[in-house]
Structure 1
Amino acid sequence: MAADSPAKRVVIGEDPASLAGLVADRFLVRVQARIRDRRLAHIALTGGSMGSAVLRAVAEDPRAAEVDWSLVHFWWGDERFVPADDPERNAGQAREALLDRIPVPAENVHEMAASDAGLSLDEGAAAYAAELARFGDAGRAWPSFAVCFLGVGPDGHIASLFPDRPEITVTDAAVLPVRDSPKPPPDRITLTRPVINASKRVWLVLTGAEKASALGLALAGANYENVPAAGAKGRKRTVFFVDEAAASEVAPDLIDIDY
């Protein structure tokens, strides 16, 4: 497989713990390659148990101490619109797992608004779009993420882009408010598909047999309006990092043993 092929590929770890270590290894290699010439690395994070597990594995890897974190900016693909100290906040989980354990400058951590920050849901989405625009490149009103991490729900949702909802079809905005989410809490903020798909690499991380169907549909090219994960693609690489339980429906020719 060519190093910069955008085709969807699958990398399999034995179980969630080994998968987290595998993704952390690839992440540290990728970040070091990106910042080698003093270039900035913009990274979009995801929440959930696997998102935190990967970040925790990064923090515990000795190579994390070799990274110049001043060159790395962290963003989020989505966020729950809850108070800043709510344990459900993706940002809080990421800080506990990694960000509070590395010397990353505070100004390099770009959190979405919390519900107690004095902004409405719509204002929070607009504020994040403005923050993204400060780092826009290549004529886009947002940075191109070196890596965009995404979780995948059993229903195939990514970020807070859920099946058969209008947010998944929006192409004229970078950030959207989400109301009445089918997954609690009901109010959220999410990046849109154009921002996700401008990423150099999209890495989707998922585990468990309950995700096997969504993975199979995404790899088979399902309609992204029905299976949002099917519409996630990086400009250089699109990789599904999965454990053996989630990989039961993966065709052998899609498995990449070398990535």
Structure 2
Amino acid sequence: MEVETMQKIVEVLPDKSALIERSLEVVLTKMQAAIAQRGIATIALAGGGTPKPLYEKLAEQDLPWEKIHVFWGDERYVPADHPDSNEGMARRAWLDKVPLPPANIHPIPTGATDPADAAAQHEAELQAFFKLSAGTFPAFDIILLGIGDDGHTASLFPHTDALQVRDRLITVGNKDGQPRITFTATLINHAYTALFLVAGASKRPALDHIFAPDDDTLYPARLIQPQGELWWLLDQAAGAELDQ
């Protein structure tokens, strides 16, 4: 796949409510365009508290659900019914409330004894779904992302081996000794749209580094440079210093 010059869009919204409304607009526009162009829309979800209201808004929409396929950009290594599960949160907020065909939901497996086996299994699932040849990467229509106070995104944490994985779709991340399954930066960077949702003043120090002109690789979100569009939607609390 030929990688094109990235288009970067940064918007600072008045508050979190406006952030969610704007993110809903972007997601719906991108999904509708993908369905019009390719017949389906593929979206990879983020965990955490920030995107949950977006999922609740999506549950209220009248969409061609049979044409939408849902994935996750990362997952904690817990069962889906665990309170920390990204899959579980998205199902409760959105997926269980709409007539989305079960076959269109593609959770990250977390049942293997060895997380590396689960990562390999999910990579094989993605290769089969996207009909990939060896060594190629799919282009998701939308990948939703957030950042932590340390600048991590998905489960790509500072100073971890996952940051160095360039030739795989899926790898094992590590958070304080706990395994996670995550998209690699390379996979994220093949997306048509990578969309960061960021809320809260605690994110300002990390954003200062992520948006700095120097090459500070301590902040993994800096690795995200997709082939298509890179969107940063921030509330005023997070993005005040950028909105000057």
**Could you say whether these structures have the same fold, taking a TM-score greater than 0.5 normalized by the shorter chain as the test?**
yes
CA contact (8 A) 1:168 1:225 kept: no
Residue 209 (structure 2) aligned to one of 217, 233, 239: 217
CA contact (8 A) 1:213 1:249 kept: no
Worse-superposed segment, 199-208 or 169-178:
169-178
Deviation at 1:87, TM superposition (A): 1.2
Query: How many residues align structurally?
Result: 240
Residue 187 (structure 1) aligned to one of 150, 158, 179: 179
Worse-superposed segment, 205-214 or 7-16:
7-16
Q: Counterpart of 2:55?
A: 55
1:190-227 CA deviation, whole Å, 9 max, x = no partner? 11011000001110111111101222222224536311
Deviation at 1:18, TM superposition (A): 2.1
CA contact (8 A) 1:164 1:226 kept: yes
1:58-79 CA deviation, whole Å, 9 max, x = no partner? 223xxx21x2111111111100
Give the Cα–Cα distance (whole angstroms) in 2 for the partners of residues 201 and 162 of structure 1.
21
Q: Counterpart of 1:249?
A: 241
CA contact (8 A) 1:137 1:144 kept: no
Give the Cα–Cα distance (whole angstroms) in 2 for the partners of residues 53 and 191 of structure 1.
23
Q: Counterpart of 2:159?
A: 164
- Cα RMSD, aligned residues only: 2.0
Q: Could you say if the C-alpha distance between residues 221 and 202 of structure 1 is closer, same or farther in structure 2, counting changes exceeding 3 Å?
A: farther
Identity, % of aligned pairs?
A: 33
CA contact (8 A) 1:169 1:225 kept: no
Q: Counterpart of 2:142?
A: 147
Deviation at 1:84, TM superposition (A): 2.4
Alignment of 1:116-127 (within 5 A): 117-127=111-121
Residue 78 (structure 2) aligned to one of 73, 79, 82: 82
Letter in 2 for 1:77: G
User: Which stretches in structure 1 are left out of the alignment for 5+ residues?
Assistant: 253-259
Residue 106 (structure 2) aligned to one of 105, 110, 117: 110
Worse-superposed segment, 46-55 or 170-179:
170-179
CA contact (8 A) 1:163 1:227 kept: yes
Deviation at 1:37, TM superposition (A): 4.5
CA contact (8 A) 1:221 1:230 kept: no
CA contact (8 A) 2:51 2:197 kept: yes
Residue 205 (structure 1) aligned to one of 179, 184, 197: 197
Give the Cα–Cα distance (whole angstroms) in 1 for the partners of residues 182 and 166 of structure 2.
13
User: Which stretches in structure 2 are left out of the alignment for 5+ residues?
Assistant: none
Q: Counterpart of 1:257?
A: none
Letter in 2 for 1:34: A
Letter in 2 for 1:164: H
What is the TM-score when the length of structure 1 is the normalising length?
A: 0.86
1:69-114 CA deviation, whole Å, 9 max, x = no partner? 1111111110000122101100010111111112111111110113
Deviation at 1:15, TM superposition (A): 1.5
Give the Cα–Cα distance (whole angstroms) in 2 for the partners of residues 118 and 5 of structure 1.
39
Q: Could you say if the C-alpha distance between residues 15 and 30 of structure 1 is closer, same or farther in structure 2, counting changes exceeding 3 Å?
A: same
Give the Cα–Cα distance (whole angstroms) in 2 for the partners of residues 224 and 119 of structure 1.
35
Q: Counterpart of 1:255?
A: none
CA contact (8 A) 1:16 1:207 kept: yes
Residue 69 (structure 1) aligned to one of 65, 72, 75: 65
**SS of equivalent to 2:11:** strand
Deviation at 1:135, TM superposition (A): 2.6
